Chain A
Amino acid sequence: MSFKFTRLQIAVHIGSLIPLVWLIVSYFTGRLTFNPIQAATQRTGQYAIILLMLALACTPATTVLGYSRVLTLRRPLGLYAFGYALIHFTIFVALDYGFSWALILQTIVEKRFVIVGLTAFAMLLPLALTSSRWWMIRLGRAWKTLHRLVYLAALLAVLHYGWAAKGDFFSLRGDVWKPLVYGTVVILLLLLRLPAVRKWVVNTRERGLARH
Protein backbone atom coordinates (compact mmCIF):
# COMPACT_ATOMS: atom_id res chain seq x y z
CA MET A 1 0.00 0.00 0.00
CA SER A 2 1.44 3.30 -0.98
CA PHE A 3 0.97 6.47 0.97
CA LYS A 4 1.43 8.92 -1.80
CA PHE A 5 -0.78 11.87 -1.20
CA THR A 6 -1.56 14.48 -3.74
CA ARG A 7 -1.27 18.07 -2.65
CA LEU A 8 -5.02 18.29 -2.68
CA GLN A 9 -5.30 15.37 -0.31
CA ILE A 10 -2.76 16.83 2.04
CA ALA A 11 -4.70 20.09 1.99
CA VAL A 12 -7.87 18.21 2.92
CA HIS A 13 -6.22 16.48 5.86
CA ILE A 14 -4.67 19.65 7.19
CA GLY A 15 -7.78 21.70 6.53
CA SER A 16 -9.98 19.18 8.29
CA LEU A 17 -7.76 18.94 11.32
CA ILE A 18 -7.26 22.67 11.83
CA PRO A 19 -10.71 23.19 13.36
CA LEU A 20 -10.03 20.42 15.87
CA VAL A 21 -6.69 21.91 16.82
CA TRP A 22 -8.33 25.32 17.07
CA LEU A 23 -11.04 23.89 19.31
CA ILE A 24 -8.49 22.37 21.66
CA VAL A 25 -6.38 25.52 21.71
CA SER A 26 -9.50 27.62 22.38
CA TYR A 27 -10.41 25.38 25.26
CA PHE A 28 -7.04 25.60 26.92
CA THR A 29 -6.69 29.33 26.40
CA GLY A 30 -10.16 30.00 27.79
CA ARG A 31 -11.49 31.23 24.47
CA LEU A 32 -14.41 28.84 24.39
CA THR A 33 -16.84 31.32 25.93
CA PHE A 34 -18.22 31.08 29.44
CA ASN A 35 -20.38 28.19 28.25
CA PRO A 36 -17.65 26.00 26.77
CA ILE A 37 -19.67 22.81 26.45
CA GLN A 38 -22.30 24.54 24.38
CA ALA A 39 -19.66 26.31 22.29
CA ALA A 40 -17.80 23.06 21.60
CA THR A 41 -21.05 21.32 20.70
CA GLN A 42 -22.02 24.06 18.27
CA ARG A 43 -18.61 24.26 16.67
CA THR A 44 -18.15 20.53 16.10
CA GLY A 45 -21.66 20.31 14.67
CA GLN A 46 -20.90 23.08 12.21
CA TYR A 47 -17.61 21.50 11.15
CA ALA A 48 -19.36 18.19 10.55
CA ILE A 49 -21.99 19.78 8.31
CA ILE A 50 -19.44 21.84 6.37
CA LEU A 51 -17.24 18.81 5.75
CA LEU A 52 -20.27 16.78 4.76
CA MET A 53 -21.20 19.43 2.21
CA LEU A 54 -17.65 19.38 0.83
CA ALA A 55 -17.77 15.59 0.57
CA LEU A 56 -21.06 15.87 -1.30
CA ALA A 57 -19.60 18.49 -3.62
CA CYS A 58 -16.93 16.17 -5.06
CA THR A 59 -19.22 14.19 -7.35
CA PRO A 60 -20.93 17.20 -8.96
CA ALA A 61 -17.53 18.84 -9.29
CA THR A 62 -16.52 15.86 -11.39
CA THR A 63 -19.70 15.26 -13.36
CA VAL A 64 -20.57 18.87 -13.94
CA LEU A 65 -17.26 20.70 -13.97
CA GLY A 66 -15.15 17.79 -15.13
CA TYR A 67 -12.84 18.33 -12.18
CA SER A 68 -12.24 14.66 -11.42
CA ARG A 69 -9.21 15.09 -9.18
CA VAL A 70 -11.46 15.80 -6.22
CA LEU A 71 -13.11 12.38 -6.41
CA THR A 72 -10.46 10.85 -4.16
CA LEU A 73 -11.31 13.43 -1.52
CA ARG A 74 -14.76 12.06 -0.87
CA ARG A 75 -13.64 9.42 1.57
CA PRO A 76 -11.37 11.59 3.75
CA LEU A 77 -13.89 14.43 3.75
CA GLY A 78 -16.71 12.06 4.65
CA LEU A 79 -14.67 10.45 7.38
CA TYR A 80 -13.66 13.77 8.86
CA ALA A 81 -17.29 14.85 8.78
CA PHE A 82 -18.15 11.70 10.68
CA GLY A 83 -15.26 12.35 13.06
CA TYR A 84 -16.65 15.75 14.01
CA ALA A 85 -20.14 14.29 14.27
CA LEU A 86 -18.73 11.67 16.63
CA ILE A 87 -17.07 14.33 18.79
CA HIS A 88 -20.31 16.32 18.69
CA PHE A 89 -22.27 13.25 19.81
CA THR A 90 -19.72 12.37 22.48
CA ILE A 91 -19.83 15.89 23.93
CA PHE A 92 -23.62 15.62 24.07
CA VAL A 93 -23.60 12.29 25.88
CA ALA A 94 -20.49 12.57 28.03
CA LEU A 95 -19.90 16.24 28.80
CA ASP A 96 -23.30 17.84 28.37
CA TYR A 97 -25.36 15.09 29.98
CA GLY A 98 -22.63 13.30 31.91
CA PHE A 99 -23.91 9.88 30.80
CA SER A 100 -27.16 10.30 32.69
CA TRP A 101 -29.19 8.12 30.41
CA ALA A 102 -32.52 9.06 31.92
CA LEU A 103 -31.94 12.71 31.06
CA ILE A 104 -30.61 11.83 27.63
CA LEU A 105 -33.65 9.71 26.91
CA GLN A 106 -35.93 12.49 28.08
CA THR A 107 -34.16 14.93 25.78
CA ILE A 108 -34.46 12.57 22.83
CA VAL A 109 -38.15 12.04 23.40
CA GLU A 110 -38.79 15.72 24.04
CA LYS A 111 -36.83 17.48 21.34
CA ARG A 112 -37.34 16.95 17.64
CA PHE A 113 -33.95 18.42 16.78
CA VAL A 114 -32.25 15.77 18.91
CA ILE A 115 -34.17 12.92 17.27
CA VAL A 116 -33.26 14.19 13.82
CA GLY A 117 -29.62 14.72 14.75
CA LEU A 118 -29.31 11.26 16.23
CA THR A 119 -30.90 9.76 13.14
CA ALA A 120 -28.39 11.52 10.92
CA PHE A 121 -25.58 10.28 13.11
CA ALA A 122 -26.92 6.74 13.10
CA MET A 123 -26.94 6.88 9.29
CA LEU A 124 -23.38 8.13 9.07
CA LEU A 125 -22.09 5.43 11.39
CA PRO A 126 -22.41 2.44 8.97
CA LEU A 127 -21.03 4.58 6.18
CA ALA A 128 -17.92 5.37 8.19
CA LEU A 129 -17.53 1.73 9.18
CA THR A 130 -17.80 0.50 5.59
CA SER A 131 -15.68 3.19 4.03
CA SER A 132 -12.64 0.98 3.42
CA ARG A 133 -11.81 -0.60 0.10
CA TRP A 134 -12.22 -4.01 1.69
CA TRP A 135 -15.85 -3.30 2.52
CA MET A 136 -16.39 -1.75 -0.86
CA ILE A 137 -15.34 -4.96 -2.59
CA ARG A 138 -17.14 -7.17 -0.14
CA LEU A 139 -20.44 -5.36 -0.48
CA GLY A 140 -20.23 -4.92 -4.22
CA ARG A 141 -23.26 -3.17 -5.65
CA ALA A 142 -24.86 -2.90 -2.25
CA TRP A 143 -22.06 -0.58 -1.16
CA LYS A 144 -23.18 2.16 -3.47
CA THR A 145 -26.78 1.81 -2.44
CA LEU A 146 -25.83 1.88 1.21
CA HIS A 147 -23.67 4.94 0.82
CA ARG A 148 -26.50 6.84 -0.78
CA LEU A 149 -27.72 7.17 2.80
CA VAL A 150 -25.39 10.12 3.04
CA TYR A 151 -27.90 12.19 1.04
CA LEU A 152 -30.56 11.72 3.66
CA ALA A 153 -28.06 12.10 6.49
CA ALA A 154 -26.94 15.47 5.14
CA LEU A 155 -30.50 16.73 4.86
CA LEU A 156 -31.29 15.57 8.38
CA ALA A 157 -28.09 17.11 9.73
CA VAL A 158 -29.08 20.50 8.34
CA LEU A 159 -32.61 20.11 9.64
CA HIS A 160 -31.13 19.25 13.04
CA TYR A 161 -29.06 22.41 12.92
CA GLY A 162 -32.01 24.52 11.81
CA TRP A 163 -34.27 23.25 14.55
CA ALA A 164 -31.59 23.72 17.18
CA ALA A 165 -31.07 27.33 16.13
CA LYS A 166 -32.92 30.11 17.87
CA GLY A 167 -35.16 31.52 15.22
CA ASP A 168 -38.22 31.12 13.11
CA PHE A 169 -38.03 29.94 9.52
CA PHE A 170 -41.42 31.26 8.49
CA SER A 171 -40.74 34.82 9.53
CA LEU A 172 -36.98 34.49 8.86
CA ARG A 173 -36.33 35.79 12.34
CA GLY A 174 -33.28 34.94 14.41
CA ASP A 175 -30.36 32.67 13.60
CA VAL A 176 -31.94 31.11 10.55
CA TRP A 177 -29.58 32.26 7.83
CA LYS A 178 -26.78 29.77 8.22
CA PRO A 179 -29.07 26.73 8.33
CA LEU A 180 -30.93 28.10 5.32
CA VAL A 181 -27.73 28.57 3.34
CA TYR A 182 -26.48 25.10 4.30
CA GLY A 183 -29.84 23.62 3.38
CA THR A 184 -29.84 25.33 0.01
CA VAL A 185 -26.31 24.14 -0.72
CA VAL A 186 -27.13 20.54 0.21
CA ILE A 187 -30.28 20.54 -1.89
CA LEU A 188 -28.38 21.99 -4.86
CA LEU A 189 -25.66 19.38 -4.50
CA LEU A 190 -28.27 16.65 -4.44
CA LEU A 191 -30.17 18.08 -7.42
CA LEU A 192 -26.97 18.14 -9.44
CA ARG A 193 -26.90 14.36 -9.10
CA LEU A 194 -30.14 13.91 -10.95
CA PRO A 195 -29.26 12.90 -14.53
CA ALA A 196 -31.71 15.37 -16.07
CA VAL A 197 -30.41 18.29 -14.02
CA ARG A 198 -26.84 17.30 -14.59
CA LYS A 199 -27.29 17.07 -18.35
CA TRP A 200 -29.04 20.39 -18.48
CA VAL A 201 -26.28 22.11 -16.47
CA VAL A 202 -23.54 20.48 -18.54
CA ASN A 203 -25.24 21.44 -21.81
CA THR A 204 -25.82 25.00 -20.72
CA ARG A 205 -22.24 25.29 -19.62
CA GLU A 206 -20.87 23.83 -22.86
CA ARG A 207 -23.00 26.15 -24.91
CA GLY A 208 -21.68 29.02 -22.86
CA LEU A 209 -18.11 27.90 -23.39
CA ALA A 210 -18.66 27.40 -27.11
CA ARG A 211 -19.86 30.95 -27.49
CA HIS A 212 -16.53 32.34 -26.27
Chain B
Amino acid sequence: MSGQEYKSIPIRSWEITPEHVYRSRRQFLRLMGVVGAGTLLAACGVQTGQPKQAASPTGVSPDPSATVVPELHTVGTPTATAVATPTPVASATPAGSAAGFEELRTELTSYEAITSYNNYYEFTTNKERVARLAEGFKTSPWEVEVGGLVHRPKTFGLEDILGKFTQEERIYRMRCVEGWSMVIPWGGVPLSRLLEQVEPMSTAKFVRFETVYAPEQMPGLKSRSYSWPYQEGLRMDEAMHELTILATGLYGEELLPQNGAPVRLVVPWKYGFKSIKSIVKIELVDYQPETLWSTAAPNEYGFYSNVNPNVPHPRWSQSTERRIGETDRIPTLMFNGYAEEVAHLYEGMDLTRDY
Protein backbone atom coordinates (compact mmCIF):
# COMPACT_ATOMS: atom_id res chain seq x y z
CA MET B 1 0.00 0.00 0.00
CA SER B 2 2.71 2.43 0.89
CA GLY B 3 4.55 4.16 -1.86
CA GLN B 4 1.51 4.11 -4.09
CA GLU B 5 0.35 7.39 -5.43
CA TYR B 6 -3.19 8.46 -4.80
CA LYS B 7 -4.40 10.98 -7.27
CA SER B 8 -7.24 13.33 -6.97
CA ILE B 9 -10.39 11.42 -7.66
CA PRO B 10 -13.24 13.75 -7.13
CA ILE B 11 -16.63 12.44 -6.35
CA ARG B 12 -18.47 14.53 -8.82
CA SER B 13 -21.66 16.33 -8.27
CA TRP B 14 -24.53 14.44 -9.67
CA GLU B 15 -28.07 14.97 -10.72
CA ILE B 16 -30.62 15.25 -8.02
CA THR B 17 -31.41 11.72 -7.16
CA PRO B 18 -34.25 10.91 -4.82
CA GLU B 19 -33.42 8.72 -1.90
CA HIS B 20 -35.40 5.77 -3.15
CA VAL B 21 -33.32 5.77 -6.30
CA TYR B 22 -30.21 5.53 -4.19
CA ARG B 23 -31.64 2.78 -2.16
CA SER B 24 -32.85 0.78 -5.11
CA ARG B 25 -29.52 1.34 -6.75
CA ARG B 26 -27.77 0.02 -3.72
CA GLN B 27 -30.00 -3.00 -3.72
CA PHE B 28 -29.44 -3.46 -7.39
CA LEU B 29 -25.72 -3.31 -6.90
CA ARG B 30 -25.80 -5.81 -4.12
CA LEU B 31 -27.55 -8.15 -6.52
CA MET B 32 -25.11 -7.38 -9.26
CA GLY B 33 -22.25 -8.02 -6.92
CA VAL B 34 -23.39 -11.60 -6.82
CA VAL B 35 -23.78 -11.86 -10.56
CA GLY B 36 -20.40 -10.35 -11.22
CA ALA B 37 -18.98 -6.95 -10.68
CA GLY B 38 -16.82 -7.05 -13.73
CA THR B 39 -19.57 -6.71 -16.28
CA LEU B 40 -21.16 -3.88 -14.43
CA LEU B 41 -17.92 -2.04 -14.12
CA ALA B 42 -17.22 -2.33 -17.78
CA ALA B 43 -20.68 -1.10 -18.58
CA CYS B 44 -20.46 1.86 -16.32
CA GLY B 45 -17.11 2.80 -17.68
CA VAL B 46 -18.70 3.24 -21.06
CA GLN B 47 -21.67 5.13 -19.71
CA THR B 48 -19.71 7.70 -17.84
CA GLY B 49 -17.12 8.07 -20.49
CA GLN B 50 -14.26 6.94 -18.34
CA PRO B 51 -12.67 4.19 -20.33
CA LYS B 52 -9.54 4.57 -18.29
CA GLN B 53 -11.15 2.83 -15.38
CA ALA B 54 -12.90 0.20 -17.34
CA ALA B 55 -9.75 -0.68 -19.15
CA SER B 56 -7.75 -1.07 -15.99
CA PRO B 57 -7.11 -4.66 -15.04
CA THR B 58 -8.19 -4.00 -11.47
CA GLY B 59 -11.44 -2.63 -12.78
CA VAL B 60 -12.61 -6.07 -13.76
CA SER B 61 -11.47 -7.72 -10.59
CA PRO B 62 -14.13 -9.93 -9.08
CA ASP B 63 -13.18 -8.48 -5.70
CA PRO B 64 -16.49 -7.63 -4.05
CA SER B 65 -15.11 -4.32 -2.88
CA ALA B 66 -15.01 -3.30 -6.49
CA THR B 67 -18.78 -3.13 -6.48
CA VAL B 68 -18.57 0.11 -4.59
CA VAL B 69 -17.12 1.84 -7.57
CA PRO B 70 -20.08 1.79 -9.94
CA GLU B 71 -22.39 3.08 -7.27
CA LEU B 72 -21.35 6.63 -7.82
CA HIS B 73 -20.89 6.26 -11.50
CA THR B 74 -24.16 4.83 -12.58
CA VAL B 75 -25.80 8.19 -12.60
CA GLY B 76 -25.94 7.77 -16.29
CA THR B 77 -28.35 4.91 -15.86
CA PRO B 78 -31.84 5.43 -17.26
CA THR B 79 -33.38 5.89 -13.80
CA ALA B 80 -31.16 8.74 -12.89
CA THR B 81 -31.14 10.55 -16.19
CA ALA B 82 -34.90 10.71 -16.01
CA VAL B 83 -34.59 13.16 -13.14
CA ALA B 84 -31.49 14.83 -14.37
CA THR B 85 -30.91 18.53 -14.00
CA PRO B 86 -27.92 20.47 -15.16
CA THR B 87 -24.80 19.75 -13.17
CA PRO B 88 -22.42 22.61 -12.96
CA VAL B 89 -19.30 20.87 -11.79
CA ALA B 90 -15.89 22.26 -11.23
CA SER B 91 -13.47 21.19 -13.92
CA ALA B 92 -13.72 17.75 -12.46
CA THR B 93 -11.52 15.72 -14.68
CA PRO B 94 -11.97 12.12 -13.86
CA ALA B 95 -8.49 10.94 -13.13
CA GLY B 96 -6.63 8.25 -11.35
CA SER B 97 -6.48 4.55 -11.63
CA ALA B 98 -9.03 2.04 -10.59
CA ALA B 99 -6.68 1.03 -7.80
CA GLY B 100 -6.88 4.55 -6.51
CA PHE B 101 -10.61 4.30 -6.71
CA GLU B 102 -10.66 1.29 -4.51
CA GLU B 103 -8.56 3.17 -2.03
CA LEU B 104 -11.12 5.93 -1.92
CA ARG B 105 -13.98 3.57 -1.16
CA THR B 106 -16.61 5.75 -2.61
CA GLU B 107 -19.54 3.94 -1.12
CA LEU B 108 -21.95 6.28 0.60
CA THR B 109 -21.91 6.30 4.36
CA SER B 110 -25.25 5.08 5.70
CA TYR B 111 -27.94 7.62 6.47
CA GLU B 112 -28.11 6.22 10.00
CA ALA B 113 -24.40 6.82 10.61
CA ILE B 114 -24.48 10.32 9.14
CA THR B 115 -27.46 11.30 11.26
CA SER B 116 -26.37 9.72 14.53
CA TYR B 117 -22.60 10.21 14.75
CA ASN B 118 -22.20 13.97 14.97
CA ASN B 119 -19.82 16.55 16.25
CA TYR B 120 -21.99 19.47 17.24
CA TYR B 121 -20.66 20.95 20.46
CA GLU B 122 -23.54 23.41 20.79
CA PHE B 123 -25.62 20.41 21.79
CA THR B 124 -23.07 18.13 23.42
CA THR B 125 -19.53 16.89 22.95
CA ASN B 126 -20.89 13.34 22.94
CA LYS B 127 -21.29 12.43 19.28
CA GLU B 128 -23.85 9.75 19.98
CA ARG B 129 -26.13 12.08 21.89
CA VAL B 130 -26.29 15.04 19.54
CA ALA B 131 -29.16 13.63 17.50
CA ARG B 132 -31.43 13.22 20.51
CA LEU B 133 -30.62 16.62 21.98
CA ALA B 134 -31.08 18.32 18.63
CA GLU B 135 -34.49 16.78 18.13
CA GLY B 136 -37.11 19.49 17.77
CA PHE B 137 -34.53 22.19 17.17
CA LYS B 138 -36.40 25.10 15.63
CA THR B 139 -35.26 25.56 12.04
CA SER B 140 -38.19 27.55 10.77
CA PRO B 141 -38.55 30.45 10.32
CA TRP B 142 -34.86 30.90 9.57
CA GLU B 143 -32.96 33.82 8.21
CA VAL B 144 -29.41 34.21 7.01
CA GLU B 145 -28.10 37.73 7.13
CA VAL B 146 -25.54 38.41 4.42
CA GLY B 147 -23.72 41.69 4.78
CA GLY B 148 -20.44 43.43 5.37
CA LEU B 149 -18.44 44.55 2.38
CA VAL B 150 -21.19 44.04 -0.17
CA HIS B 151 -23.13 46.39 -2.40
CA ARG B 152 -26.49 44.83 -1.73
CA PRO B 153 -26.73 43.39 1.77
CA LYS B 154 -29.61 41.03 2.04
CA THR B 155 -31.30 38.79 4.53
CA PHE B 156 -32.28 35.51 2.96
CA GLY B 157 -35.13 33.50 4.32
CA LEU B 158 -34.60 29.80 4.08
CA GLU B 159 -37.32 29.76 1.39
CA ASP B 160 -35.21 32.17 -0.66
CA ILE B 161 -32.22 29.86 -0.55
CA LEU B 162 -34.33 26.86 -1.38
CA GLY B 163 -36.46 28.56 -4.00
CA LYS B 164 -34.18 30.97 -5.79
CA PHE B 165 -31.30 28.70 -6.56
CA THR B 166 -31.08 25.43 -8.36
CA GLN B 167 -30.52 22.78 -5.76
CA GLU B 168 -27.77 20.36 -6.58
CA GLU B 169 -26.73 17.05 -5.17
CA ARG B 170 -23.08 16.83 -4.24
CA ILE B 171 -21.51 13.64 -3.05
CA TYR B 172 -18.50 14.66 -1.00
CA ARG B 173 -16.00 12.98 1.19
CA MET B 174 -16.06 14.50 4.66
CA ARG B 175 -12.84 14.17 6.63
CA CYS B 176 -13.07 14.93 10.31
CA VAL B 177 -9.91 16.17 12.00
CA GLU B 178 -10.40 13.33 14.46
CA GLY B 179 -9.28 10.80 11.88
CA TRP B 180 -12.59 9.48 10.65
CA SER B 181 -14.44 10.19 7.44
CA MET B 182 -17.70 9.71 5.63
CA VAL B 183 -19.05 9.96 2.10
CA ILE B 184 -22.10 12.16 2.19
CA PRO B 185 -24.70 13.02 -0.45
CA TRP B 186 -25.51 16.62 0.30
CA GLY B 187 -28.14 18.76 -1.32
CA GLY B 188 -27.56 22.46 -1.65
CA VAL B 189 -26.33 25.40 -3.66
CA PRO B 190 -22.86 26.71 -4.35
CA LEU B 191 -22.12 29.49 -1.92
CA SER B 192 -20.94 31.61 -4.82
CA ARG B 193 -24.51 31.86 -6.20
CA LEU B 194 -25.63 33.44 -2.98
CA LEU B 195 -22.62 35.72 -2.72
CA GLU B 196 -23.05 36.91 -6.30
CA GLN B 197 -26.51 38.16 -5.34
CA VAL B 198 -25.15 40.51 -2.71
CA GLU B 199 -22.41 41.83 -5.01
CA PRO B 200 -19.22 41.65 -2.96
CA MET B 201 -17.03 44.78 -2.96
CA SER B 202 -13.52 44.49 -4.26
CA THR B 203 -12.29 45.20 -0.75
CA ALA B 204 -13.85 41.98 0.56
CA LYS B 205 -11.04 39.50 1.18
CA PHE B 206 -12.59 36.98 3.55
CA VAL B 207 -15.98 35.61 4.47
CA ARG B 208 -17.00 35.18 8.06
CA PHE B 209 -19.74 32.76 9.11
CA GLU B 210 -21.65 32.53 12.33
CA THR B 211 -23.80 29.78 13.83
CA VAL B 212 -27.05 30.57 15.58
CA TYR B 213 -26.70 31.24 19.30
CA ALA B 214 -29.74 29.65 20.90
CA PRO B 215 -28.86 28.68 24.47
CA GLU B 216 -32.42 27.71 25.30
CA GLN B 217 -32.25 25.05 22.59
CA MET B 218 -28.58 24.19 22.69
CA PRO B 219 -27.52 22.82 26.08
CA GLY B 220 -23.86 22.63 25.07
CA LEU B 221 -23.66 26.42 24.99
CA LYS B 222 -23.67 26.36 28.79
CA SER B 223 -20.10 25.13 28.60
CA ARG B 224 -17.90 28.17 28.83
CA SER B 225 -14.98 26.24 27.40
CA TYR B 226 -15.49 27.80 24.01
CA SER B 227 -16.21 31.27 22.80
CA TRP B 228 -19.70 31.01 21.37
CA PRO B 229 -21.22 31.56 18.93
CA TYR B 230 -19.35 29.20 16.65
CA GLN B 231 -17.63 31.15 13.92
CA GLU B 232 -15.71 30.17 10.86
CA GLY B 233 -14.06 31.83 7.93
CA LEU B 234 -12.93 31.32 4.38
CA ARG B 235 -10.79 33.32 2.05
CA MET B 236 -12.82 34.93 -0.72
CA ASP B 237 -11.54 32.58 -3.42
CA GLU B 238 -12.27 29.57 -1.25
CA ALA B 239 -15.77 30.82 -0.62
CA MET B 240 -16.38 31.40 -4.32
CA HIS B 241 -15.05 27.98 -5.32
CA GLU B 242 -17.49 25.69 -7.09
CA LEU B 243 -17.00 22.94 -4.54
CA THR B 244 -18.03 25.15 -1.63
CA ILE B 245 -21.72 24.77 -0.99
CA LEU B 246 -24.43 25.80 1.38
CA ALA B 247 -26.13 22.52 2.17
CA THR B 248 -29.80 22.26 3.01
CA GLY B 249 -30.37 18.61 2.24
CA LEU B 250 -29.02 15.16 2.91
CA TYR B 251 -29.77 11.94 1.05
CA GLY B 252 -32.41 13.78 -0.93
CA GLU B 253 -34.21 14.81 2.25
CA GLU B 254 -34.21 17.88 4.42
CA LEU B 255 -31.12 18.35 6.50
CA LEU B 256 -31.63 17.24 10.10
CA PRO B 257 -30.70 19.45 13.07
CA GLN B 258 -27.80 17.23 14.14
CA ASN B 259 -26.24 17.80 10.72
CA GLY B 260 -26.58 21.57 10.90
CA ALA B 261 -30.11 22.25 9.70
CA PRO B 262 -31.49 24.22 8.17
CA VAL B 263 -28.42 25.47 6.32
CA ARG B 264 -24.73 24.73 6.73
CA LEU B 265 -21.51 25.18 4.89
CA VAL B 266 -19.72 22.26 3.23
CA VAL B 267 -16.09 22.73 2.19
CA PRO B 268 -15.01 19.22 1.26
CA TRP B 269 -11.25 19.79 1.04
CA LYS B 270 -11.03 21.10 4.60
CA TYR B 271 -11.45 19.34 7.92
CA GLY B 272 -15.07 18.94 8.90
CA PHE B 273 -15.11 21.64 11.56
CA LYS B 274 -14.66 24.30 8.86
CA SER B 275 -18.08 23.35 7.52
CA ILE B 276 -20.00 25.47 10.00
CA LYS B 277 -23.55 24.46 10.87
CA SER B 278 -26.89 26.26 11.30
CA ILE B 279 -25.68 29.52 9.79
CA VAL B 280 -27.42 32.79 10.63
CA LYS B 281 -24.82 35.27 9.51
CA ILE B 282 -22.45 35.61 6.58
CA GLU B 283 -20.23 38.64 6.59
CA LEU B 284 -17.74 39.76 3.98
CA VAL B 285 -14.73 41.36 5.58
CA ASP B 286 -11.26 42.62 4.73
CA TYR B 287 -9.47 40.79 7.56
CA GLN B 288 -8.84 37.15 8.29
CA PRO B 289 -11.68 36.29 10.67
CA GLU B 290 -11.23 34.44 13.93
CA THR B 291 -12.52 30.92 13.99
CA LEU B 292 -13.67 29.03 17.05
CA TRP B 293 -11.10 26.27 16.85
CA SER B 294 -8.11 28.31 15.81
CA THR B 295 -8.87 30.59 18.74
CA ALA B 296 -9.33 27.73 21.20
CA ALA B 297 -6.19 25.81 20.20
CA PRO B 298 -4.11 27.74 17.68
CA ASN B 299 -1.30 25.21 17.85
CA GLU B 300 -3.66 22.45 16.72
CA TYR B 301 -5.98 24.16 14.27
CA GLY B 302 -5.12 26.83 11.80
CA PHE B 303 -7.31 29.19 9.82
CA TYR B 304 -6.99 27.19 6.62
CA SER B 305 -7.32 23.69 8.07
CA ASN B 306 -7.01 22.06 4.68
CA VAL B 307 -6.97 18.30 4.86
CA ASN B 308 -3.25 17.63 4.76
CA PRO B 309 -1.66 14.26 5.48
CA ASN B 310 1.71 15.95 5.89
CA VAL B 311 0.76 18.10 8.85
CA PRO B 312 0.45 15.88 11.91
CA HIS B 313 -1.85 16.51 14.82
CA PRO B 314 -0.88 15.73 18.43
CA ARG B 315 -3.73 13.27 18.85
CA TRP B 316 -5.14 11.97 15.61
CA SER B 317 -3.52 10.49 12.58
CA GLN B 318 -3.78 12.87 9.67
CA SER B 319 -1.98 10.61 7.25
CA THR B 320 -4.63 7.93 7.51
CA GLU B 321 -8.32 7.82 8.24
CA ARG B 322 -11.10 5.37 8.87
CA ARG B 323 -14.33 5.48 6.93
CA ILE B 324 -17.22 5.16 9.27
CA GLY B 325 -18.64 1.70 8.66
CA GLU B 326 -15.31 0.17 7.72
CA THR B 327 -12.48 -1.31 9.72
CA ASP B 328 -9.33 -0.63 7.71
CA ARG B 329 -7.47 2.61 7.67
CA ILE B 330 -7.11 4.26 4.31
CA PRO B 331 -4.59 6.91 3.33
CA THR B 332 -5.73 10.48 3.73
CA LEU B 333 -5.31 12.45 0.54
CA MET B 334 -4.00 15.96 0.12
CA PHE B 335 -6.97 18.34 0.12
CA ASN B 336 -9.09 15.29 0.90
CA GLY B 337 -8.66 14.14 -2.69
CA TYR B 338 -9.76 17.44 -4.25
CA ALA B 339 -6.26 18.63 -5.09
CA GLU B 340 -7.00 19.00 -8.78
CA GLU B 341 -9.80 21.39 -8.02
CA VAL B 342 -8.29 23.42 -5.23
CA ALA B 343 -4.50 23.09 -5.10
CA HIS B 344 -4.09 26.21 -7.25
CA LEU B 345 -5.70 28.29 -4.53
CA TYR B 346 -2.68 27.73 -2.35
CA GLU B 347 0.12 28.04 -4.84
CA GLY B 348 3.21 29.54 -3.30
CA MET B 349 1.93 29.03 0.22
CA ASP B 350 3.73 26.92 2.78
CA LEU B 351 0.87 24.77 3.98
CA THR B 352 2.86 23.31 6.83
CA ARG B 353 3.01 26.81 8.23
CA ASP B 354 -0.43 27.96 7.10
CA TYR B 355 -2.08 24.74 8.23
| A interface residues (Cβ-Cβ under 8 A, vs B) | 33-35, 37-38, 95-98, 100, 102-103, 106-107, 110-113, 163-164, 166-168, 171-175
Contact = CB atoms under 8 A, between A and B. Distances in A.
A100 B327 CA distance: 13
A33 B117 contact: yes
Contact of A37 (B117, B127, B314, B327): B327
A90 B307 CA distance: 29
A35 B117 contact: yes
Nearest to A166: B315
A110 B312 contact: yes
Given A37-B322, A168-B297, A163 B2 contact: no
In the A-B complex, the 9 residue pairs with the closest CB atoms: A173-B225, A34-B117, A34-B113, A110-B312, A34-B324, A33-B128, A35-B180, A98-B328, A102-B2
Nearest to A39: B128
A173 B315 contact: no
Contact of A35 (B296, B312, B314, B324): B324
B315 A164 contact: yes
A133 to B, nearest CB: 41
Interface of B: 1-2, 112-113, 116-117, 125, 127-128, 178, 180, 225-226, 296-297, 312, 314-315, 317, 319-320, 322, 324-325, 327-329
B55 to A, nearest CB: 30
A57 to B, nearest CB: 29
B126 to A, nearest CB: 10
Contacts of A38: 180
Contacts of B226: 173
A35 B319 CA distance: 18
B125 A103 contact: no
Contact of A113 (B314, B319, B322): B314
A163 B319 contact: no
Contacts of B328: 98
Contacts of A163: 314-315
A56 B100 CA distance: 51
A173 B125 CA distance: 12
A112 B125 contact: no
A100 B1 contact: yes
A163 B314 CA distance: 8
A101 to B, nearest CB: 11
Nearest to B296: A173
Given A34-B117, A168-B297, A97 B319 contact: no
Nearest to B224: A173
Contacts of A33: 117, 127-128
A137 B296 CA distance: 54
Contacts of B315: 111, 113, 163-164, 166
A7 B174 CA distance: 52
A34 B225 contact: no
A34 B325 contact: yes
A103 B328 CA distance: 12
Given A34-B116, A96-B329, A98-B327, 10 more contacts: A33-B117, A33-B127, A33-B128, A34-B324, A37-B327, A163-B314, A167-B225, A168-B296, A171-B225, A173-B225
Contacts of A103: 317, 319-320, 329
Given A35-B324, A100-B1, A174 B125 contact: yes
